[in-house]
Amino acid sequence: MTGQEILDRLSDSFKNDLQTLVNQGKVKGDGSLEEIPNAKDKKIISVDSFRFIVEVQRIDNIQTSNILKNLREIGGYSHKSAGVVDVFKYEDESIDYVTSPDGMHRILMALICGVKQIPVNIQDVHPIGATNQDIIDTEKRFFDDKNGRSAGITETDQMRSDKLSGKMTPKQKKLDETLEKVGINVGDIGAPKETAHYSYNTISELDKVVSNDKHPCYVDLEEFAASTNWMTNFIPKEGSAPRLHGGIAKTKSIIDNLGDPVVKSMFEKWFKSAGKDTYSYYQQEWWTAKVQHTRNMENTTLRLLVAFNQWYRTKFDGDNCISIDKISSLLEVMNTETKQFVDDCLVKNMLIDYAPVVKVEEEEEDFSFLDKEFDTQTV
C-alpha cells in the first residue's frame, strides 16, 4: 500500500483535528521545517516511492494520537528529528518503488505536511528470484530485530505481524483461535471485525482467560464463548474493554459454579438494572482503573464480585452471596491492599467507597422473575 492509501483510511476525527492544527498555524503544512541535513551525502527519494507491506507493518493500529502529538510539539515535519528511513530496494528494475518495514508513521507525517522528498538508508535489496514470502520474511525479520529493542511495538502489534507472516507461536495460535471461536476481534487477530461480538484495539490481558488452566482468571472455552454471547444482551459493542471483558467472563464463571439459580438470576438482573449499586451505577473506567500492576484482570474480577455482592446484600436483608473461600485463587496473587478491600466488603460488610458522576434514580423493586427459580426448587 502507498502512504496516501493508508492516510485515506484514517478517521475523519483525526483529519479534522489535523486540519485545525494547520489552520491555527501550529503545524506547517506546505513542506518541511528545514532542509535535509548533509543532503549531499544521503540517498534522497520521493515520498511517493514508498510502499508498505501489510503483513509486516501495523496498518490497522496506526497511532494517530502520537502523530498529532509529535506534529503539535515539533510544529511540522522535521528532517532533523525524523532522520533517515530504512528501506528495501528491488533488484528487478521494473519495480520502481521501495518498501519500508519501519517508516510508516514518518511517511504519513511527511504526506500530511506536504514534504516531497525523504532521505533513506537502503538496508538491503530483494533479489529477482525472491518470492512474496521471501520478501515478507526478510522485512519482518528486520522489523522484529529493530522494534524488539524498542518500546514502539506492542504485544498486539507483534502478534498481528506474526500472524500475517505465518510465524505465530503455539501460544499465539491458541489465543487467535480462541478469540475467533468466542467472537472477539483485535485487528487481524481473532474473529473478523464484521461478525465479532466485540472488537478491541489491543489483546491486553485476554490471554489470561484462555492460555493456562492454572491461571486464576482462566475460563473454559465453552464458558468464555457463552459468557461473551450473554454479555451482548447488556453491554454494547463499544461498552467494554479487554480486561473488563475477561473479568466479566471470570465473574460469571464463579457465579455459575456456585450452583444457586437465584444468585445466577440476580447476577443477570444486576447487569440489566439501572439503580444504585448496579453494574451501570459505576463508570466503566472504575472497574479497571488504579489496579495492582500486572494484575488488572484479577483486580477487575474482584471488584465485579464485591460490587455485585453489595447490591445483592441490599436486596436480601444483609445476606452475602460471595464468600472468601470461593475466590481464594484470585486473592492469593493480590497485594495486601486488595485483600483488605475484599475483606472489608465481604467479611465486614463495609460499603464500596464510590460516588457516581451523575445522580442515579432508584429503580422499581420487581423480583417476580425469581418466582420461577423458587418454584423449581420446591420439593
pLDDT band, very low/low/confident/very high, at 317 (cuts 50, 70, 90): confident
Burial of 190 (0-12, 13-18, 19+ CB in 10 A): buried
Percentage, residues of the chain above pLDDT 90: 63
92, pLDDT greater than 70 = yes
Summarize the confidence of residues 40-68 as an average pLDDT. Answer: 86
Residue 367: closest CA among 324, 315, 321: 315
378, pLDDT greater than 60 = no
Task: Write out the DSSP string of 59-85.
Answer: GGG--HHHHHHHHHHHSS--HHHH--E
7-21: pLDDT as tens digits? 998 888 888 999 999
Angle, helices 104-112 vs 64-74, to 10°: value is 60
pLDDT band, very low/low/confident/very high, at 359 (cuts 50, 70, 90): very low
Q: Would you state the pLDDT for residue 152?
A: 55
Higher pLDDT, 278 or 377: 278
287, pLDDT greater than 90 = yes
Gap between the Cα atoms of 31 and 140, Å rounded: 31
Cβ pair 198, 185 in contact under 8 A = yes
Residue 267: closest CA among 330, 344, 322, 206: 322
Q: Would you state the pLDDT for residue 164?
A: 81
Q: Would you state the pLDDT for residue 371?
A: 55
Task: Write out the DSSP string of 311-341.
Answer: HHHHHTTT--S--GGGGHHHHTTS-HHHHHH
Q: Would you state the pLDDT for residue 358?
A: 44
312, pLDDT greater than 50 = yes
pLDDT band, very low/low/confident/very high, at 368 (cuts 50, 70, 90): low
Average pLDDT of every residue of the chain: 88
Gap between the Cα atoms of 245 and 10, Å rounded: 27
Higher pLDDT, 97 or 13: 97
Q: Would you state the pLDDT for residue 379?
A: 37
Summarize the confidence of residues 69-87 as an average pLDDT. Answer: 92
Q: How far is CA 72 from the centre of its chain?
A: 25
Residue 119: closest CA among 29, 49, 30: 49
pLDDT band, very low/low/confident/very high, at 151 (cuts 50, 70, 90): very low
67, pLDDT greater than 50 = yes
Summarize the confidence of residues 350-373 as an average pLDDT. Answer: 61
- The CA distances from residue 311 to 10, 182, 289, in Å, are 43, 29, 21
Return the amino acid letter for 58. R
Please tell me whether the overall predicted TM-score, pTM, comes out greater than 0.85 for this model: no
Ranges of each domain in the chain: 3-164, 204-376
Grid coordinates of 258:
456456585
Grid coordinates of 274:
439501572
Q: How crowded is the C-beta side of 61, counted as CA atoms within 13 Å?
A: 24
Higher pLDDT, 44 or 201: 44
- Across 55-64, 282-291, 302-311, least confident range: 55-64
pLDDT band, very low/low/confident/very high, at 331 (cuts 50, 70, 90): very high
Return the amino acid letter for 3. G
Q: Would you state the pLDDT for residue 147?
A: 67
Q: Would you state the pLDDT for residue 122?
A: 93
Angle CA 315–332–338, to nearest 5: 55
Summarize the confidence of residues 363-375 as an average pLDDT. Answer: 55
Bridge partners, residue 43, by sequence? 120
pLDDT band, very low/low/confident/very high, at 222 (cuts 50, 70, 90): very high
- The CA distances from residue 345 to 307, 349, 358, in Å, are 9, 5, 24
362, pLDDT greater than 80 = no
37, pLDDT greater than 70 = yes
CATH architecture, range 3-164: Alpha-Beta Complex (3.90)
Q: Dihedral sign for Cα 196, 197, 201, 205, please.
A: negative
Summarize the confidence of residues 32-60 as an average pLDDT. Answer: 90
Q: Would you state the pLDDT for residue 165?
A: 82
